[in-house]
């Protein structure tokens, strides 16, 4: 069987969630099905030709049995390159811009989310990365349930694992005598960095030995006691998770929540909103806060953070994280490929 992956990542991209998915999916499928002819098409490194909209013109089907667009914003390329005889699969990571239209900030994104919903309806199968995302595809786009398969994301357990906390703190120049709350997030609206800041300020009014580390996407967070580390290379992220005493996740909308899983694999206690996909990932580990706003929800987060901060490693979370692996992601995706090919031959 011949497979081609249409990737949204560029070869020049540093490691981030979507690229982790694309790299791991490709490498594990290649390992598991060595008899298959599997290739991938990256987005161009050029600033203009490598933009998402222009890149649609450069994806090719290469006479593959299955074309798999590994991100929903690649899906509109189907209008330009895919012959009707090919099977077309799209992975949908989330539909946040449809729920938070204020996050659509430029012309490129407007075009993407004007054409992406229509393109998804042309897919022979959609892979959703959580049951929540599957529900959103049905709710927002009206796509039939039988056309959607849920395949969870994974984590590299060789890299993300429990390590010595004191040693990891020292690698980042952190005071081992202090407590550290870690936030790994961009600053866009639904990530609720405004709430994270309120939570931290409340905690600082109670305990001065607590600091907050803000990492992710090179976006900073200002404030007394906040340590903004910006973009952290992938090889250092497990050290950062292990240096933290609590992982705080205030996002209201997640397709999966990969940083939550990575924190779990490191044994770092997680405190997060009980919203979107997070309960699917976290299960009965860590602490979940009911939806809400105002002082009530701030205090609820604070109480749960203080409860978890001095407990050390969350070994239940480590065990639960083993339910998720990139190899399993690949195996479940291979099953979806097989189902499509069998349906064609039926």
pTM above 0.85, yes or no: yes
Tell me if domain 2-154+325-345 and domain 165-321 are identical in fold.
Answer: yes
Q: At what angle do helices 294-309 and 193-206 cross, to 10 degrees?
A: 60
User: What was the pLDDT predicted at 328?
Assistant: 98
Per DSSP, which regions of 74-219 are E strands?
A: 87-92, 125-128, 148-150, 179-184, 210-215
Q: Which two tokens stand for residue 331?
A: 């195996």
User: What was the pLDDT predicted at 75?
Assistant: 95
Question: What rounded mean pLDDT belongs to the chain?
Answer: 93
Measured at the CA of 216, the angle between CA 305 and CA 154, to 5 degrees, comes to 80
User: What was the pLDDT predicted at 346?
Assistant: 37
CATH classification for the domain delimited by 165-321, as one of 3.60.20.10, 1.10.3720.10, 3.40.50.2000, 3.40.50.1000 = 3.40.50.2000
pLDDT digits (tens, 9 = 90+) for 38-86: 999 999 988 888 899 999 999 999 899 999 999 999 999 998 765 555 8
Per CATH, the number for 2-154+325-345 is 3.40.50.2000
CB atoms within 10 A of CB 86: 18
Cβ atoms 92, 47 nearer than 8 A: no
pLDDT digits (tens, 9 = 90+) for 264-307: 999 999 999 999 999 999 999 999 999 777 889 999 999 999 99
Break the chain down into helix, strand, coil percent, rounded to 5.
45, 20, 35
Residue 130 main-chain phi, psi, to 5 deg? -165, 165
The structural domains of the chain, with segments of one domain joined by +, span 2-154+325-345, 165-321
Which of the pair, 71 or 104, is modelled with greater confidence? Answer: 71
User: What was the pLDDT predicted at 218?
Assistant: 64
Say which range, 10-14, 152-156, 193-197, has the weakest mean pLDDT. 10-14
User: What was the pLDDT predicted at 85?
Assistant: 52
User: What was the pLDDT predicted at 81?
Assistant: 67
Length of the chain equals: 346
User: What was the pLDDT predicted at 90?
Assistant: 98
- Average pLDDT, stretch 314-329? 98
- Average pLDDT, stretch 190-218? 92
User: What was the pLDDT predicted at 109?
Assistant: 87
Cβ atoms 289, 304 nearer than 8 A: yes
């Amino acid at each position: 069987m011949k497979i081609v992956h249409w990737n949204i990542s560029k070869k020049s991209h540093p490691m981030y969630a979507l690229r982790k998915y694309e790299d791991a999916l490709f490498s594990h499928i290649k390992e598991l099905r060595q008899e298959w002819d599997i290739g991938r098409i990256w987005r161009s490194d050029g600033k203009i030709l490598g933009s998402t909209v222009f890149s649609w013109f450069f994806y090719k089907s290469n006479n593959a049995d299955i074309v798999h667009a590994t991100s929903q914003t690649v899906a509109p390329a189907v209008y330009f390159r895919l012959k009707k005889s090919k099977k077309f699969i799209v992975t949908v990571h989330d539909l946040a811009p449809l729920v938070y239209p204020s996050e659509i900030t430029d012309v490129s994104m407007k075009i993407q989310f004007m054409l992406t919903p229509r393109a998804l309806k042309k897919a022979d199968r959609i892979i959703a990365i959580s049951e929540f995302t599957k529900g959103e595809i049905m709710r927002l786009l009206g796509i039939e349930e039988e056309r959607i398969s849920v395949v969870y994301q994974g984590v590299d357990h060789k890299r993300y694992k429990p390590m010595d906390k004191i040693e990891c703190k020292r690698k980042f120049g952190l005071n081992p005598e202090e407590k550290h709350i870690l936030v790994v997030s961009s600053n866009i609206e639904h990530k609720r960095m405004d709430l994270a800041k309120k939570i931290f300020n409340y905690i600082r009014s109670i305990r001065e030995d607590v600091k907050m580390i803000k990492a992710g996407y090179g976006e900073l967070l200002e404030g007394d006691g906040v340590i903004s580390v910006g973009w952290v290379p992938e090889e250092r992220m497990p050290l950062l998770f292990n240096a933290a005493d609590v992982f705080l996740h205030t996002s209201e909308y997640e397709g999966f929540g990969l940083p939550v899983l990575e924190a779990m694999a490191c044994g770092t206690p997680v405190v997060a909103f009980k919203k979107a996909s997070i309960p699917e990932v976290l299960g009965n580990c860590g602490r979940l806060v009911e939806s809400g706003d105002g002082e009530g929800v701030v205090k609820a987060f604070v109480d749960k953070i203080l409860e978890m901060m001095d407990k050390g490693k969350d070994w239940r979370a480590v065990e639960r994280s083993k339910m998720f692996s990139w190899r399993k992601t690949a195996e479940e995706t291979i099953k979806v490929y097989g189902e499509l090919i069998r349906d064609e031959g039926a």
